[in-house]
Amino acid sequence: MHLPIYKCLISHGEASGWNTLTLENDLIRVTLLPEKGSDFIEFLYKPANVDYLWKSPIGLPAKPDSIPLPHDVFMDYYEGGWEEILPSGGLPNTYAGIDYGLHGELWSLPWSVRIDENRPANQISIVLNCNLTKLPLSIEKRLTLNIGEAILHIDETLTNESDEPVDFMWGHHPALGAPFLNGDCVLDVPAADCEAASIEGDPAARLQKGALHKWPMVTAKDGNSIDLSAVPPPSAKCSDEFWLTGLKEGWCAVTDTRRKLGFGMVWDINIFRSLWIWQEFGGTKEEPWNGESYVMGVEPWSSYALEGLNEAVRRNTHLTIQPHERLDTWVKAIAYEGIQRVQSIDVSGYVHPNV
């Protein structure tokens, strides 16, 4: 018989040969892969027994004999879940003489881990550290759970270890899937502008690449009006990417309006200034999706450029960290219920209903 958890716990495990680390309290359980980019592979809301994160059809590939992984094999090792992306996002590209694979390199690197707080009755906190290999950047990430809160607190520091300024992109890449994600879900974002980034000529894309819209009502390629805040069902067989910019605040929420159950995020708008939305709703027939994947990425990003860092610099949406500068930032991920639409999520992580 499995007894409910009424305290904070840190535990270790294994998945496909990878070491796992699990943090849990009375309301949520989060599992990550410290050896693989510190990926989150589980974000479970215990009262509803729902894991919000999408699982790729290929599953979690077996851990290879040696790590870190090559930087150019993101899709070969993409298990779904939630990755952190640095210093380039999107397609492979070359910038300042450095070649980057799909989504840069941070996702492929092992992180060190130490326990910072282990007070089962109140709070647990771990600290992860990683050094990039292509750029002189180091990153520290603190993960915290408090008893009685369905909130994962993420506090981060990026440091330039060199005497030269460094350009970069930085993003979080959580992908939501079934059984949570379904056609009853809605996406609430305090956005102003929307730019379609769907692949040119993709027959499954509803939006024309490069088209500019006001959120949430947009005009599709066929001339029909679409409410992008409404999540299509798996039967839609469509596939789109778009950026939401001009954010008034840094938050988003995906809510199942029938079950009144949701996943929200709130973040530092000074660093993560835009939101990428990736929607693969069974529209892509080619591998690895094979017309079977139903997933939506809700991704806070510093920059928007599907073609990577080189394009982000051309668009002037990149960030620059000065010599020996430290950038502190934060993200919170929240599970909630009893709400159909979200009006806002404040910096404490409190979800305000739209009543």
Condensed to tens digits (0 to 9), the pLDDT of residues 152-187 reads 999 999 999 999 999 999 999 999 999 999 999 999
Average pLDDT over residues 111-124: 96
**β-sheet bridge partners, residue 104:** 86
DSSP string covering 192-234: -EEEE-PPTT-TT-SS-TT-EEESSEEE-TTS-EEETTBPPPG
- Residue 200: what pLDDT? 78
**CA geometry: angle 28, 7, 34, nearest 5 deg:** 55
Write down the pTM of the prediction: 0.96
Average pLDDT over residues 294-316: 96
The number of domains in the chain is 1
| Both tokens assigned to 161 | 């270890």
pLDDT digits (tens, 9 = 90+) for 17-75: 999 999 999 999 999 999 999 999 999 999 999 999 999 998 999 999 988 999 889 99
Q: Distance between CA 295 and CA 137 in Å, rounded?
A: 31
Average pLDDT over residues 272-297: 93
Q: Distance between CA 196 and CA 48 in Å, rounded?
A: 34
66: in domain: yes
Reply yes or no on whether the pLDDT at 115 is more than 90: yes
Residue span of the structural domain in which 89 resides? 9-350
73: in domain: yes
320: in domain: yes
Q: How far is CA 350 from the centre of its chain?
A: 19
Reply yes or no on whether the pLDDT at 3 is more than 60: no
pLDDT digits (tens, 9 = 90+) for 232-283: 999 999 999 999 999 989 999 999 999 999 999 999 999 999 999 999 999 9
1: in domain: no
- Residue 4: what pLDDT? 62
2: in domain: no
How many angstroms separate the most distant Cα atoms in the chain?
A: 58
Q: Distance between CA 60 and CA 17 in Å, rounded?
A: 10
- Residue 2: what pLDDT? 53
| Both tokens assigned to 313 | 């610099």
92 CB burial (10 A radius; 0-12, 13-18, 19+): middle
pLDDT digits (tens, 9 = 90+) for 77-102: 999 999 999 999 999 999 999 999 99
In 3D space, the residue among 106, 104, 107, 105 whose CA is nearest the CA of residue 93 turns out to be: 104
What radius of gyration do the chain's Cα atoms show?
19
4: in domain: no
- Residue 201: what pLDDT? 80
Looking at residue 127, which CATH number applies to its domain?
2.70.98.10
Q: How far is CA 162 from the centre of its chain?
A: 28
Structural element, H or E, at residue 331: strand 326-337
3: in domain: no
Reply yes or no on whether the pLDDT at 322 is more than 50: yes
**β-sheet bridge partners, residue 320:** 167
User: 1 pLDDT band (50/70/90 cuts)?
Assistant: very low
77: in domain: yes
In 3D space, the residue among 76, 75, 98 whose CA is nearest the CA of residue 87 turns out to be: 98
Block residue for tokens 């992984």: 69
- Residue 355: what pLDDT? 81
pLDDT digits (tens, 9 = 90+) for 342-352: 999 999 999 99
Other CB atoms within 10 Å distance of the CB of residue 35: 20
| Both tokens assigned to 263 | 């996943």
Reply yes or no on whether the pLDDT at 221 is more than 70: yes
